[in-house]
């Protein structure tokens, strides 16, 4: 069995998909599987993906017959994984060629860590040149014993969400919620702290291409189209993100009663301040 899965969610990414897939198949850790889920693209992304699957047995392609929304497309990749470790690679992004080898080696030797992310990550433009504006957030939870304190630490420090491209333990990732909510990566990363530590390694890891820059109105239209927000007035859309955090915690059998008694209310205050400014 392979050690790690690279999951590539795709929607109309033909301009960059060759470079992205090449960065996956060129990893120094060769014991991997690569799963590409095409979300009913209208360009030739599926043809590009199928070309690689024909030439490399490690590459598997899934074709959605209709657009199922980004969060569903991300989750399908996790469900399809057949390895102990999993990472998402954006279909216009590029991994450094030793990223998986170093990250998997770290996880193999640190059983406290449920995810490891690169301390450094660069944003690049359409031509691949470095630009300002993206990095991994400092959400290392080393030394934080209480699970809910780890969740609070992650929420307070999560600004750029490139950390979602860290390497997860697949079984833990499957326990986490995939919801129609603004900030689904915030939800996944925050709640991963219940299960163990999120740690960083001092490598670059990822070059994230900035190509899909939406206006506020375009972003709102997309959120409404996929049911992420509604036209309800007077309700901050980030309230749903907080509700999902707290509901998951209330139902969790992983958390001890002492942790909930000591840290639940302080976590709620952190979430309200972080996402609602209260």
Which is it for strands 4-10 and 32-38: parallel, antiparallel or unpaired? parallel
CA distance 244 to 238: 10
Structure tokens at 266: 């302080």
Q: Is CATH 3.90.550.10 what the domain over 4-209 is classified as, yes or no?
A: yes
Q: Give the pLDDT score at 228.
A: 67
Q: Give the pLDDT score at 123.
A: 75
Q: Which of 184, 138, 155, 183 is nearest to 266 (CA)?
A: 155
| Average pLDDT of the chain to the nearest whole number | 91
pLDDT tens-place string over residues 22-63: 999 999 999 999 999 999 999 999 999 999 999 999 999 999
Helix axis angle, 147-157 to 238-251, nearest 10°: 170
Q: Give the pLDDT score at 232.
A: 58
Q: Which of 130, 165, 144 is nearest to 4 (CA)?
A: 165
Helix (H) or strand (E) run with residue 242 in it: helix 238-251
**For 205, left (φ over 0), alpha (ψ -120 to 50), or beta?**
left
CB atoms within 10 A of CB 231: 6
Residue 180: band (very low, low, confident or very high) from pLDDT cuts 50, 70, 90:
confident
User: pTM (2 decimals)?
Assistant: 0.93
CB atoms within 10 A of CB 172: 16
Domain boundaries, the chain: 4-209, 216-276
Asked if 119 contacts 203 with a C-beta cutoff of 8 angstroms, the reply is yes
Q: Which of 7, 3, 14, 5 is nearest to 62 (CA)?
A: 7
CA distance 29 to 90: 19
- Cα-based torsion angle of the residue sequence 87, 88, 92, 97 in order, rounded to the nearest 10 degrees: 0
Residue 225: band (very low, low, confident or very high) from pLDDT cuts 50, 70, 90:
low
Map tokens 């640190």 to a residue. 110
Helices (H), 56-112: 70-80, 99-109
Q: Which of 9, 14, 2, 256 is nearest to 149 (CA)?
A: 256
Asked if 8 contacts 20 with a C-beta cutoff of 8 angstroms, the reply is yes
């Amino acid at each position: 069995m392979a050690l790690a899965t690279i999951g590539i969610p795709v929607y109309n990414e033909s301009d960059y998909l060759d470079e992205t897939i090449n960065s996956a198949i060129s990893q120094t850790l060769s014991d991997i599987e690569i799963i590409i889920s095409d979300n009913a693209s209208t360009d030739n992304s599926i043809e590009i993906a199928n070309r690689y699957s024909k030439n490399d047995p490690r590459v598997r392609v899934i074709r959605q017959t209709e657009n199922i929304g980004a969060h569903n497309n991300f989750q399908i990749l996790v469900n399809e994984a057949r390895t102990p470790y999993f990472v998402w690679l954006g279909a216009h992004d590029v991994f450094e060629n030793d990223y998986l080898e170093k990250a998997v080696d770290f996880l193999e030797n640190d059983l406290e860590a449920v995810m490891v992310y690169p301390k450094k990550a660069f944003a690049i433009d359409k031509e691949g040149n470095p630009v300002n504006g993206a990095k991994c957030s400092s959400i290392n939870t080393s030394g934080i014993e209480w699970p809910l304190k780890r969740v609070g630490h992650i929420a307070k420090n999560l600004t750029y969400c490139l950390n979602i491209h860290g390497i997860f333990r697949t079984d833990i990732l499957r326990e986490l919620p995939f919801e129609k909510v603004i900030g689904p990566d915030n939800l996944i990363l925050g709640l991963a702290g219940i299960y163990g530590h999120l740690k960083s390694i001092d490598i670059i890891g990822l070059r994230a291409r900035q190509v899909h820059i939406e206006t506020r109105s375009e972003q709102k239209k997309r959120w409404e189209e996929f049911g992420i927000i509604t036209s309800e007035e007077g309700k901050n859309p980030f309230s749903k993100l907080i509700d999902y955090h707290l509901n998951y915690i209330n139902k969790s059998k992983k958390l001890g009663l002492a942790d909930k008694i000591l840290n639940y209310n302080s976590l709620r205050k952190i979430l309200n301040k972080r996402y609602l400014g209260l």
